[in-house]
Structure 1
Amino acid sequence: MISKKIIITISVLFFSFHLFSQKDSTKVKTKQNLIIQEGVYKPLAPAKAAFYSAIFPGLGQIYNKKYWKAPLVWGAIATPTYFYLNNNSEYKRYRTAYKLRKSGFQDEFTNDLGEVTVSLETLERAQEQLRENRDLSLMWGVIIYVLQIVEASVNAHLIQFNTDDNLSLKPSFVQDPILFDAPKIGFTLKYTF
């Protein structure tokens, strides 16, 4: 039992040394061995974007200067909100009619002659369906709200990455100089930093 603890402790210590040996990606060394700050890294920018999006949907996208995303977020939030409000009002309407009919009073689905246009079973089924639709609209609204917060935070993280042309992949096709007549297919991948 002691040997397992020692092995685990040694392995954790061994692998933890690699965590501190990473270099800062925002600093570049020049030929004179001077360190020049290439870009300003803002560690709180993703948290600010997420906070702004949590306060008001779309504000995190505006903070990230992705102005075109804000109307998309507003439309995405407005759609389930509309369906939630519509289904909730219809649910209340059918619920009130159901309660009145069960109490023996006249409801909106009974005409002046006392004829019932909607049966009691239909009122029950309509309530169930409208409540389910209302709850689904609420669920989708919450999912979209959380996703727009996550999107603003991830976008703020990605804005800070170095996207220099030196960080690109360049595929090239090389012909075999010995067997020029026989076609060969190959793939070479070159990357530079």
Structure 2
Amino acid sequence: MTKLLLTFILIAGLALTAAAQKPDTLKRTKATVTDSLNHRADSLQSKPFKPGLLSKKDKIIIPDTLHSPHKAVIRSLIIPGWGQAYNHHYWKIPLIYGALGSLGYYIWYNERDYQGFLAVAKYQRDPNYTNAKYNNYIQQYAKYPNASIVNQKDYSLRSRDLCILGFLLSWGVNCIDAYVFAKFKHSYSMDNNLSDVHISGGLLNNPLSPVYAANFNTFTPAIKLTITLR
């Protein structure tokens, strides 16, 4: 009888528990919100990097090297001072023409004296010799000894040749100057990169003083400056 009663109570309790659990009438909404923007895939495809070599047709142009030394020297060969004008060194042009003009004048002056004294020397050897262009030389110097006339003639010839040589050298210096300053026109920078300049301290040994273990007077403090040219 007792077992039957316990069984009845257990069944009744299970029935009440099942009746108490009612289904939830509220519907759960999704917590995630979909993005309203449509994402598009990237249409550009990256290509792997492949280092290549420059061909002979490729030309690297550096703005600082556009000033051509070749143009400067050719222009100075054609017209003195033209290369300096190309380098924007206008103050050198009067110096160039002053030197060339002076040498050109002395070339003409010594050539005139040479031809005049030559005419005098010919007249002294042959009184019948005439030269209308240098007649004034004949009238002025015919009374001097022949040895003096010959020496003066040789001196004028030597001076003329030296002036011609100086004229050619001055023209050459004009070309060299144009080339050098065109070469270094833009080959330096004005930045603050001083990596090629190193300053360090050091000690200089005095060779006239003996070195002892505790004698520091034989050494002189010094500053060492090292400049590396590129």
TM-score, with length taken from structure 2: 0.56
- Report deviation, 1:110: 6.4
Cα separation, 2, equivalents of 1:187 and 1:120: 72
* Alignment match, 1:131: 157
Among 77, 87, 99, the alignment partner of 1:76 is 99
Correspondence 1:78-117 to 2 at 5 A:
78-105=101-128, 108=136, 117=143
Is 1:67–2:90 an aligned residue pair?
yes
* Alignment match, 1:41: 65
* Alignment match, 2:179: 153
- Report deviation, 1:111: 5.8
- Report deviation, 1:76: 1.5
Amino acid at match of 1:42: L
Q: Which has the higher helix share?
A: 1
Identity of aligned residues (%): 22
- Give SS of 1:166's match: coil
CA contact (8 A) 1:57 1:73 kept: yes
The C-alpha deviation readout for 1:148-170, integer Å capped at 9, x for no partner, is: 10110111001020233425875
CA contact (8 A) 1:77 1:141 kept: yes
Q: CA RMSD in A?
A: 3.3
Amino acid at match of 1:75: G
- Give SS of 1:155's match: helix
The 1:116–1:146 alpha-carbon spacing in structure 2 relative to 1, beyond 3 Å, is: closer
Cα separation, 2, equivalents of 1:77 and 1:168: 45
Q: How many residues align?
A: 152
- Give SS of 1:117's match: coil
- Report deviation, 1:184: 2.4
* Alignment match, 1:185: 221
Cα separation, 2, equivalents of 1:81 and 1:125: 23
The 1:52–1:111 alpha-carbon spacing in structure 2 relative to 1, beyond 3 Å, is: closer
- Report deviation, 1:77: 1.1
The 1:160–1:167 alpha-carbon spacing in structure 2 relative to 1, beyond 3 Å, is: farther
Runs of 5+ in structure 2 lacking a partner?
1-59, 204-213
The 1:56–1:168 alpha-carbon spacing in structure 2 relative to 1, beyond 3 Å, is: farther
CA contact (8 A) 2:116 2:138 kept: no
CA contact (8 A) 2:123 2:142 kept: no
- Report deviation, 1:97: 1.4
- Report deviation, 1:64: 0.4
CA contact (8 A) 1:87 1:134 kept: yes
* Alignment match, 1:166: 193
Is 1:50–2:73 an aligned residue pair?
yes
- Report deviation, 1:171: 7.1
Cα separation, 2, equivalents of 1:94 and 1:184: 71
CA contact (8 A) 2:200 2:224 kept: yes
Which protein has the larger Cα radius of gyration, Structure 1 or Structure 2? 2
Superposition misfits of 4+ residues, deviation over 6 angstroms = none
Runs of 5+ in structure 1 lacking a partner?
1-25, 28-36
CA contact (8 A) 2:119 2:138 kept: no
Amino acid at match of 2:225: L
* Alignment match, 2:9: none
Cα separation, 2, equivalents of 1:40 and 1:111: 66
